Amino acid sequence: MTMNMLCRVGQIRRCAASLSQTLNQVAASRQKHTLPDLTYDYGALEPHINAEIMQLHHSKHHATYVNNLNVTEEKYQEALAKGDVTAQVALQPALKFNGGGHINHTIFWTNLSPNGGGEPQGELMEAIKRDFGSFQKMKEKMSAATVAVQGSGWGWLGYEKESGRLRIAACANQDPLQGSTGLIPLLGIDVWEHAYYLQYKNVRPDYVKAIWNVINWENVSERLQIAKK
């Protein structure tokens, strides 16, 4: 091996070591995901959603998604640094599940309010009437789609940017709406059993009917305004 080739090999090794070090530094400095605080007490949504459900749902279930997402992202950064494509692919389901769980629940808590219920106002209401005929028809259509989710999942009201229309969709498990359908999430209803079973047992329709009493339409309206920008 010539001296020039040896120099080039040394340069390549130094570059690879430098890149690996940089990736490790990025991973170490990456801000970890955290469990968002609620703006209301666990018992504030009673009698529609009781305090025990809210406490378990937020402090246990959502917290687990956050913790697992952080662990998975750390493993993914390690796989990137090593150039291990097989490991990167293998981690994709965990990223989708835990990342989706964190995204979905972060939206869900803000979609709820002890001062919620009633009907939306202004531009959101006009969009609902335009796309569904009436607020009641939208509620019925979204409730039906949500109740019909097989196993665990979510019912969603989303915004389709291309058409400027509101759409209703259902997603399985913790699949995030935008990542799965392209719709921007405005309102989500969680129909995993941990969201309602302690209070409503296996009667999902009663839970879905009750949750409309605590929907924060101001938050949904704000999300629509942001989505349209």
Angle between helices 63-82 and 3-29 (to 10 degrees): 170
What DSSP line would sit under the chain, residue for residue? --HHHHHHHHHHHHHHHHHHHHHHHHHHHSPPP-PPPPSS-TTTTTTTS-HHHHHIIIIIIIHHHHHHHHHHHHHHHHHHHHT-HHHHHHHHHHHHHHHHHHHHHHHHHHHB-TT--S---HHHHHHHHHHHSSHHHHHHHHHHHHHT--SSEEEEEEEETTTTEEEEEEEETT--HHHHHSPEEEEEEE-SGGGTHHHHTT-HHHHHHHHGGGB-HHHHHHHHHHHH-
Nearest to 62 by CA among 4, 107, 102: 102
Binding site as annotated, residues for Mn(2+): 57, 105, 190, 194
Question: For residue 187, what are the β-bridge partners?
Answer: 157
Question: Which residues are annotated as part of the binding site?
Answer: 57, 105, 190, 194
